[in-house]
C-alpha cells in the first residue's frame, strides 16, 4: 500500500482551471470513534483542507453519510465557511453564501421513518453495544461496541423490520454500521451534483469505505480517486491512513498554489 504519491500524479489536478476536492469525513479526514459525534479532523488534515480551500478556483466539499446537522457539528463548520457540504449521501447540501439546501419530504415518508426508528430501537433494546442512530432520511444501526453475536442479531432484527415495513428503502453497509433510508441518493450523485454546481473541470474524491465506492467508480478522465486504508477499491491511488492522505492533500495544495501564483 502506497503512503506517498508522486507529484506527476497530482500535476493534472494542480493545473486544472477549476478543481473540486470532494472528501468523505469519517475514516478519511477523521479517525473512527466509538461515539460517532466525537469524530474530528486530524490537525494535519484540517490544515491541508484549509490550505486547499483558500486557493483560487479551488472548491473543497465534505461528502458524508452523516445528516447535514451532524456533519456540520463534527466538521466544526461555521456559517461563514467556504466549504461545501453534502450530507446524507447527497440528499442534503450546504452551499457557501446560501446555506442549507434540503428536500421537502412527503409526510408519509417522515411518519414511516419515525415508526421504523421506534421499532428498531424496541427490537434491539436488549442488545448491549447496539445503538440506533436517527438520520434525516432513515436510521443507522451502529455496532462498533457490540459483540459479533449482538451485531449479527441486530442486523437480522432490523433487516426484518425494514423488509416487512419498507422494502423500498435503500440499505448501505459501512464500518460497523448498516444504514437504511427512504431516499436513494448516493455519493456518486453527490459528486455529480457538486461538479455541476461548482463548474469543476476536474475532481479529486477520497474515501475509506464501501459507501465511497459508488463515487470512486463514477469518476472520469482527468479525475483522481483515492482510497484511504486497505480494501478492494476502484480508486487509482491508495494511501495507508489519514496521516498519509493529509500529506497528499498538502502536496496538492503546494502544487496548485505554485500554479496559481
Which of 26, 23, 12 minimizes the C-alpha distance to 60? 23
Give me the chain's average pLDDT, please.
95
Residue 247 has pLDDT above 90, yes or no: yes
Q: Are 184 and 172 in contact (CB under 8 A)?
A: no
Would you state the pLDDT for residue 1?
Answer: 43
CATH number attached to the domain at 107-181: 3.30.70
Q: How far is CA 76 from the centre of its chain?
A: 15
189-154-112-164 Cα dihedral, nearest 10 degrees: 100
Would you state the pLDDT for residue 6?
Answer: 76
- Identical topology for domains 7-103+186-259 and 107-181: no
Residue 252's Cβ-count burial label (10 Å; 0-12, 13-18, 19+) is buried
pLDDT digits (tens, 9 = 90+) for 90-114: 999 999 999 999 888 899 999 999 9
* Domain boundaries along the sequence of the chain: 7-103+186-259, 107-181
pLDDT digits (tens, 9 = 90+) for 56-98: 999 999 999 999 999 999 999 999 999 999 999 999 999 999 9
Give the torsion sign (CA, 188, 253, 62, 29): positive
Confidence tier at 34 by pLDDT (50, 70, 90): confident
d(CA 225, CA 156): 34
pLDDT digits (tens, 9 = 90+) for 169-224: 999 998 899 999 999 899 999 999 999 999 999 999 999 999 999 999 999 999 99
Kindly state which CATH superfamily the domain 7-103+186-259 is placed in: HAD superfamily/HAD-like (3.40.50.1000)
Amino acid at each position: 500500500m502506497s503512503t506517498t504519491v508522486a507529484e506527476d500524479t497530482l500535476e493534472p489536478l494542480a493545473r486544472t482551471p477549476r478543481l473540486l476536492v470532494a472528501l468523505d469525513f469519517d475514516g478519511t479526514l477523521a479517525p473512527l470513534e466509538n461515539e460517532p459525534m466525537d469524530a474530528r479532523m486530524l490537525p494535519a488534515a484540517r490544515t491541508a483542507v484549509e490550505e486547499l480551500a483558500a486557493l483560487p478556483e479551488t472548491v473543497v466539499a465534505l461528502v458524508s453519510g452523516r445528516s447535514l446537522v451532524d456533519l456540520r457539528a463534527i466538521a466544526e463548520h461555521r456559517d461563514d465557511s467556504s466549504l461545501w457540504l453534502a450530507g446524507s449521501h447527497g440528499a442534503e447540501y450546504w452551499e457557501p453564501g446560501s446555506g442549507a439546501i434540503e428536500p421537502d419530504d412527503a409526510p408519509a415518508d417522515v411518519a414511516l421513518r419515525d415508526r421504523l426508528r421506534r421499532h428498531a430501537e424496541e427490537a434491539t433494546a436488549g442488545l448491549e453495544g447496539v445503538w440506533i442512530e436517527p438520520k434525516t432520511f432513515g436510521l443507522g444501526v451502529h455496532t462498533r461496541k457490540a459483540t459479533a453475536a449482538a451485531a449479527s442479531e441486530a442486523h437480522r432484527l432490523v433487516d426484518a423490520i425494514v423488509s416487512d415495513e419498507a422494502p423500498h428503502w435503500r440499505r448501505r453497509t459501512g464500518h460497523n454500521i448498516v444504514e437504511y433510508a427512504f431516499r436513494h441518493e448516493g455519493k456518486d450523485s453527490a459528486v455529480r451534483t457538486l461538479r455541476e454546481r461548482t463548474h469543476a473541470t476536474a475532481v479529486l474524491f477520497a474515501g475509506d469505505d464501501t459507501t465511497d465506492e459508488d463515487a470512486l467508480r463514477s469518476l472520469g478522465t482527468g479525475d483522481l480517486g483515492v482510497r484511504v486504508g486497505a480494501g478492494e477499491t476502484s480508486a487509482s491511488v491508495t494511501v495507508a491512513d489519514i496521516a498519509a492522505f493529509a500529506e497528499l492533500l498538502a502536496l496538492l495544495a503546494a502544487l496548485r498554489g505554485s500554479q496559481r501564483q
